[in-house]
């Protein structure tokens, strides 16, 4: 799109927003400092760089050609994705993306295995977040890690948790930033357990051990991620939301909400106002649950929009850690990545542009009719004109231009792999 057109559209959008008491310039200013953490694992279907790749508890389907085969390709692909997004970024890594100088067992890795990532992050002016990889490993005991009945298995994964936190802390320190270390265990059972409490006692005990060491929160924030069920854990997941919510509050750990990890009619957006009263740290895994699958590409749907709107209305937009988490191997991965990132980013901007002052004022005045009228009118405000302006200012592709850019990269780079 022509620059002149973008500027013209923005000016008229600004006037419309003004009528609703919204200053689009101010929203854009605020927006420029917002960050989204891009998950590296969409680029290679969570394979990682370990020599030995075993079946994973994270089920990824599809075999679209051109997945990144090594760190260089993955980083190049991430750069391509980031350049079409107008916000600031972090990149979210997993242990399996380590590049140790000499072969090292996963639970014994240290931050030196991430030197390339750290250098790259500095060069690209992005932060880093981290995750231990409690899956796809021969020490998984029939889908169980920290809740295995075998002490040696639990000890192995507790050790992994400890070294993971050390790595994350050092990553944060090297970048003079905060690194969010998210902890997710697939542990659960296919069929009904006889003793649910027993498995949860194991989980609690392992977590107490792995989280014992305290770190400066300036550089490390731990979060725990629950799931209602998974493939192979249909009847029971040890780390349920009811487990982690009290655990995190009691132990001062942050909580991670993945939009695909709840009952389909349960609203993650509705949780934010409550959680923010009791938590310092909330991590979002913005994803898209489809029936029983939790990891479709994020889109601008009601769920994504509602999350951003609630975050803004609750005044916690700056406080939230917003990350993406999906993996679709059935379509061009660069499209999958970029669409999800741009959709999360656009929903975020739309939330900042909501006439929130007017809405709250109507509500306080008990004028719920006005609140409804404003809500519905707000849905059709010209967000896209402001979004295009944000993209223009950040040098990200506007309108159809980013699609052509991805097609070009796909032809020149992806198709040649
Ligand atoms: C899995 C969880 C978890 C993973 C990543 C790879 O259901 O959502 O966050 O997707 O750690
Ligand atoms: Zn997740």
Q: Where residue 277 falls among pLDDT bands split at 50, 70, 90? A: very high
Residue 409 lies in a domain: no
Which of the listed residues 258, 289, 290, 293 should we mutate to test ligand 1's pocket, taking the one with most ligand atoms within 8 A of CB?
258
CATH number for 304? 3.20.20.150
Residue 294 has a pLDDT of 79
Which of the listed residues 93, 135, 145, 285 should we mutate to test ligand 1's pocket, taking the one with most ligand atoms within 8 A of CB?
285
Q: Where residue 60 falls among pLDDT bands split at 50, 70, 90? A: very high
Q: Where residue 190 falls among pLDDT bands split at 50, 70, 90? A: very high
- Domain of 323 in residue numbering reads as 34-355
Give the Å distance between the CA of 112 and the centre of ligand 1. 24
Residue 52 has a pLDDT of 85
Ligand 1 binding pocket (C-beta < 6 A) is 41, 46, 58, 131, 184, 225, 227, 258, 285, 294, 325
**pLDDT tens track for 78-88:** 999 999 999 99
Determine the atom of ligand 1 nearest the C-alpha atom of 58: 1
Residue 86 has a pLDDT of 98
Q: Which of 45, 77, 222, 225 is catalytic?
A: 225
292 pLDDT more than 90 = no
Number of Cβ atoms within 10 Å of the Cβ of 411: 10
Which of the listed residues 161, 168, 225 should we mutate to test ligand 1's pocket, taking the one with most ligand atoms within 8 A of CB?
225
- Give the pLDDT mean for 6-21: 98
Determine the atom of ligand 1 nearest the C-alpha atom of 131: 11
- Give the pLDDT mean for 341-366: 98
Q: Which residue has the higher pLDDT, 319 or 326?
A: 326
Q: Where residue 387 falls among pLDDT bands split at 50, 70, 90? A: very high
Give the Å distance between the CA of 183 and the centre of ligand 2. 9
Residue 67 has a pLDDT of 98
Q: Where residue 301 falls among pLDDT bands split at 50, 70, 90? A: very high
Residue 378 lies in a domain: no
Residue 196 lies in a domain: yes
Least confident range of 51-60, 339-348, 367-376: 51-60
Beta strands in 263-318 (DSSP E): 282-286, 288-290, 293-296
Q: Report the share of the chain in percent with pLDDT over 90.
A: 97
- Secondary structure of the chain: what % helix, strand, coil (to 5)? 50, 15, 40
Give the Å distance between the CA of 354 and the centre of ligand 2. 28
Q: Which of 14, 261, 271, 321 is catalytic?
A: 261
Would residue 137 show up in a list of annotated catalytic residues for this protein?
A: no
Token digits for 416? 């040649």
Query: Closest Cα to residue 91, out of 64, 71, 63, 105?
Result: 71
Would residue 296 show up in a list of annotated catalytic residues for this protein?
A: no
339 pLDDT more than 90 = yes
Would residue 184 show up in a list of annotated catalytic residues for this protein?
A: yes
Residue 200 lies in a domain: yes
Q: How many domains does the chain have?
A: 1
Residue 187 lies in a domain: yes
Determine the atom of ligand 1 nearest the C-alpha atom of 327: 10
Model confidence, pTM: 0.97
Q: How far apart are CA 322 and CA 90, in angstroms?
A: 9
Residue 1 has a pLDDT of 81
Would residue 191 show up in a list of annotated catalytic residues for this protein?
A: no
Q: How far apart are CA 337 and CA 349, in angstroms?
A: 19
Would residue 285 show up in a list of annotated catalytic residues for this protein?
A: yes
Q: Which of 94, 137, 227, 321 is catalytic?
A: 227
Q: How far apart are CA 397 and CA 1, in angstroms?
A: 9
- Give the pLDDT mean for 29-54: 96
- Give the pLDDT mean for 365-387: 97
Query: Closest Cα to residue 161, out of 147, 141, 178?
Result: 147
Residue 139 has a pLDDT of 98
**pLDDT tens track for 117-126:** 999 999 999 9
Three-class DSSP category at 329: coil
Residue 293 has a pLDDT of 77
Q: Give buried/exposed letters for 76-91 (b at 16+ CB in 10 A, else e).
A: ebbebbbbbbbbbbbb
**pLDDT tens track for 231-257:** 999 999 999 999 999 999 999 999 999
Q: Which residues contact 88 (CB under 8 A, 6 or more apart)?
A: 32, 33, 34, 35, 36, 125, 126
Give the Å distance between the CA of 49 and the centre of ligand 1. 17
Residue 408 has a pLDDT of 98
Give the Å distance between the CA of 399 and the centre of ligand 2. 29
2 pLDDT more than 80 = yes
Would residue 39 show up in a list of annotated catalytic residues for this protein?
A: no
- Give the pLDDT mean for 49-56: 91
Residue 172 lies in a domain: yes
Would residue 129 show up in a list of annotated catalytic residues for this protein?
A: no
Question: Do the beta carbons of residue 259 and residue 270 sit within 8 Å?
Answer: no
Residue 318 lies in a domain: yes
Which of the listed residues 183, 184, 241, 326 should we mutate to test ligand 1's pocket, taking the one with most ligand atoms within 8 A of CB?
184
Average pLDDT, the chain: 97
Would residue 258 show up in a list of annotated catalytic residues for this protein?
A: yes
Residue 207 lies in a domain: yes
- Give the pLDDT mean for 247-268: 97
Residue 319 has a pLDDT of 86
Would residue 73 show up in a list of annotated catalytic residues for this protein?
A: no
Q: CA 99 → CA 71, 102, 224, 353, 383, distances in Å? A: 8, 9, 25, 42, 42
Longest Cα–Cα distance of the chain, Å, equals 67
């Amino acid at each position: 799109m022509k620059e002149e057109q973008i500027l013209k559209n923005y000016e008229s959008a600004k006037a419309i927003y003004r009528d609703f008491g919204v200053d689009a310039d101010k929203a854009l200013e605020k927006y420029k400092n917002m960050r989204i953490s891009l998950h590296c694992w969409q680029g290679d279907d969570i394979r990682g760089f370990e020599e030995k790749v075993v079946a994973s508890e994270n089920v990824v389907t599809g075999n679209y050609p051109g997945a990144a085969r090594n760190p260089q390709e993955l980083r190049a692909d991430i750069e391509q994705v980031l350049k079409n997004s107008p916000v600031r970024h972090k990149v979210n890594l997993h242990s399996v993306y380590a590049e140790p100088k000499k072969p090292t067992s996963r639970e014994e890795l240290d931050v030196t295995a991430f030197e390339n990532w750290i250098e790259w992050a500095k060069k690209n002016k992005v932060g880093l977040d981290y995750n231990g990889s409690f899956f796809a490993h021969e020490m998984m005991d029939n889908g169980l890690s920290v809740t295995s009945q075998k002490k040696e298995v639990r000890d192995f994964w507790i050790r992994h948790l400890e070294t993971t936190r050390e790595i994350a802390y050092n990553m944060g320190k090297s970048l003079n930033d905060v690194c969010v270390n998210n902890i997710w265990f697939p542990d659960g059972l296919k069929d009904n357990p006889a003793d649910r409490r027993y498995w949860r006692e194991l989980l609690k005990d392992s977590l107490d051990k792995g989280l014992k060491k305290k770190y400066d929160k300036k550089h490390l924030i731990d979060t725990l991620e629950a799931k209602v069920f998974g493939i192979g854990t249909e009847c029971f997941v040890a780390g349920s939301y009811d487990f982690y919510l009290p655990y995190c509050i009691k132990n001062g750990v942050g909580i991670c909400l993945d939009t695909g990890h709840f009952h389909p009619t349960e609203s993650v957006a509705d949780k934010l106002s409550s959680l923010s009263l009791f938590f310092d740290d909330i991590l979002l895994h913005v994803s898209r649950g489809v029936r029983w699958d939790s990891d479709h590409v994020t889109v601008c749907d009601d769920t994504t929009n509602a999350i951003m709107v609630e975050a803004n209305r609750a005044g916690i937009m700056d406080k939230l850690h917003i990350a993406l988490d999906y993996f679709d191997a059935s379509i061009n991965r660069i499209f999958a990545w970029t669409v999800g990132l741009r959709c999360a980013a656009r929903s975020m901007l739309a939330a900042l542009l909501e006439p929130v002052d007017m809405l709250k004022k109507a509500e306080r005045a008990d004028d719920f009719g006005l609140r409804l009228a404003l809500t519905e009118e707000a849905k059709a405000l010209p967000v896209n004109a402001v979004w295009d302006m944000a993209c223009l200012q950040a040098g990200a592709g506007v309108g159809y231009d980013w699609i052509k850019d991805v097609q070009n990269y796909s032809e020149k780079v992806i198709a040649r792999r």
